[in-house]
Amino acid sequence: MAGVSVPPAEVLLSKRVQQMVIAGDEPLGPYLCRNDHHDEESTATSPIPAVDIGCFATGNWSAEETEEELQKLKSSLSTWGCFQAMGHGIPTSLLYEVRQLGREFFEQPMEEKSKYAKTVNEFQGYGADPVPEEGQSLDWSDRFFLELVPEERRDYRLWPQQPTFFKKMLEEYTEQMKRVTEIVSKSMARSLGLDENCFLAQFGEGAQLAIRFNYYSPCTRPDLVLGLKPHADGSGYTIILQDEVGLQIRKDGKWHTAFKNPDALLVLMGDQMEIMSNGVFKSPVHRVVSDEKRDRISVAMFYTPEVGKEIGPEEGLISGEAPRIFKKVKDYADIHWGYYQKGMRALHAAQV
């Protein structure tokens, strides 16, 4: 577009996407990242498998039924790299309230949200990702990111005063997530025939939980932007709560839309679970598409090994037929971040 000057990413990122949409601004420059007309044809609609994790927690199920769910879990994680967790025991009302908490936060006036704003290079707080490397695209979304566990990593100055029940609700959800991560980590180990505590031991006593509320504004040109660019997570795994469709998972060369299921938690493997499972579980590439009319909230809980803790493939998964494919690594999330900012995956950095 001759004659149209595009501000640099730093300048664009000084404004929130939500503000731009309210002001009627069109996306421009690095926000324009889609040129994949052909990929519309390759969007598929097969549902992500659902696994009833209640059977791993209660002991009320028969051995056959439990084995069947374990097999489903293993098969979903080695093909899709994710599954919809049902039977998690979190009341539907709490899931609704957590999503609502996100909505209410973003619906506040800018002056209120700005009290929790992060600077460009920080992670915790309200804003967008730090400025990516030259030539990388920007996401058509706003975020609010908080570290939750271990508690000493919390920065309470960034915990909103409004809505007033924010702190209570977040603490309640954190407790539920600790419980769910324990069930999921143990079940994943059992599904691979390993000692049920092996992944928990790798995550360590100081395993981290961090939450990201993602707000995806509508966009007049959803064909040109993405709410979140294609990426794989650097976490151990991520537990996603969503209210509307928009998330897509890459599998077999196609984008698969994750249907909305307000009662389910979408459990998605990050690169570190791919490493610990020696490649048996896949860390899937995923993205979020924008909608012309509708906004969307998602709440992602990142579960990541303790800071400074070395992780690596479980020995029990390595054999003559299944040689080690990953090295031991530590603070992989930082390695991941370096590549993410270049628009690249990081997993190769952990390969032997």
Of 269 and 329, CB closest to ligand AKG: 269
Q: Select the residue interacting with ligand AKG from 32, 300, 317, 347 (CB under 6 A).
A: 300
Q: Does 228 bind ligand AKG (CB under 6 A)?
A: yes
Beta-bridge partners for 248: 257, 287
Q: Select the residue interacting with Fe ion from 52, 233, 271, 295 (CB under 5 A).
A: 233
Q: Does 214 bind ligand AKG (CB under 6 A)?
A: yes
Q: How far apart are CA 75 and CA 49, in angstroms?
A: 9
Q: Select the residue interacting with ligand AKG from 185, 272, 298, 304 (CB under 6 A).
A: 298
CB of 46 to ligand AKG, least distance (A): 18
Residue 65 CB neighbour total at 10 angstroms: 12
Burial of 64 (0-12, 13-18, 19+ CB in 10 A): exposed
CB of 211 to ligand AKG, least distance (A): 10
Q: Does 271 bind Fe ion (CB under 5 A)?
A: no
Site for ligand AKG in 173-192 (CB under 6 A): none
Site for ligand AKG in 239-268 (CB under 6 A): 240, 242, 247
Q: Does 286 bind ligand AKG (CB under 6 A)?
A: yes
Partner that binds at residue 240, options ligand AKG, Fe ion, none, CB closer than 5 to 8 Å by kind:
ligand AKG
Closest CA to 300 of 223, 230, 240, 217: 240
What does the block give as tokens for 207? 């395993």
Beta-bridge partners for 236: none
CB of 215 to Fe ion, least distance (A): 15
Single-letter amino acid, residue 326 = F
Of 207 and 228, CB closest to ligand AKG: 228
Q: Select the residue interacting with ligand AKG from 33, 85, 273, 288 (CB under 6 A).
A: 288
CB of 151 to Fe ion, least distance (A): 24
DSSP conformation letters of 102-160:
HHHHHHS-HHHHHTTBPPTT--SEEE-PPP--TT----S-EEEEEEEESGGG--GGGS-
Of 69 and 139, CB closest to ligand AKG: 139
Spatial contact of 236 and 273, defined as CB atoms under 8 Å apart: yes
Burial of 157 (0-12, 13-18, 19+ CB in 10 A): exposed
Q: Does 148 bind ligand AKG (CB under 6 A)?
A: no
Of 142 and 233, CB closest to Fe ion: 233
Partner that binds at residue 288, options ligand AKG, Fe ion, none, CB closer than 5 to 8 Å by kind:
ligand AKG
Spatial contact of 121 and 129, defined as CB atoms under 8 Å apart: no
Q: How far apart are CA 49 and CA 85, in angstroms?
A: 9
| Residue listed under structure tokens 């659902």 | 50
Residue numbers at the binding site for ligand AKG (CB under 6 A): 212, 214, 228, 233, 240, 242, 247, 286, 288, 298, 300
Residue numbers at the binding site for Fe ion (CB under 5 A): 233
